[in-house]
Amino acid sequence: MTIQHTVVFALHHAEASSEEKTFLTDAQRSLSAVPGVQQFRINRQVSDKSDLRWQFTMLFDDQAAYDAYNEHPDHVAFVESRWQHEVRDFQEYDFVASD
């Protein structure tokens, strides 16, 4: 059962600022390197219907891989040192295929 983990979010940083770019670059580098993460992507929102400008999405083979990601020291460190301070608002979604 593959899990697609998705989080959409808005940053405190100004759009196209160096701080925004650094946050996204650092997230790509650190989160995609956590064991079990597959197909990590960063997408930018283009609709006016939401002010949550960014999306991280990634796949996990199963619940065990997803749980290991959530508990991994690199993920925890990113959340504590960056996410909690730089993200203004977010929504998190976890999906499995409907059979």
- Report the top-level CATH class of 3-95: alpha beta
Q: What pTM was computed for the model? A: 0.94
**84, exposed or middle or buried, with CB in 10 Å at 0-12, 13-18, 19+?**
exposed
Give 95's strand partners: 4
Residues in the chain: 99
Tokens representing 29 are: 């580098």
Report whether pLDDT(99) > 90: no
The rounded distance, in Å, linking the Cα atoms of 5 and 60 is 8
Q: Tokens at residue 38, please?
A: 């597959």
pLDDT, mean over the chain: 97
**Domains of the chain by residue range:** 3-95
Grade residue 14 by pLDDT with cuts at 50, 70 and 90.
very high
Q: Tens digit of pLDDT for each residue in 52-81?
A: 999 999 999 999 999 999 999 999 999 999
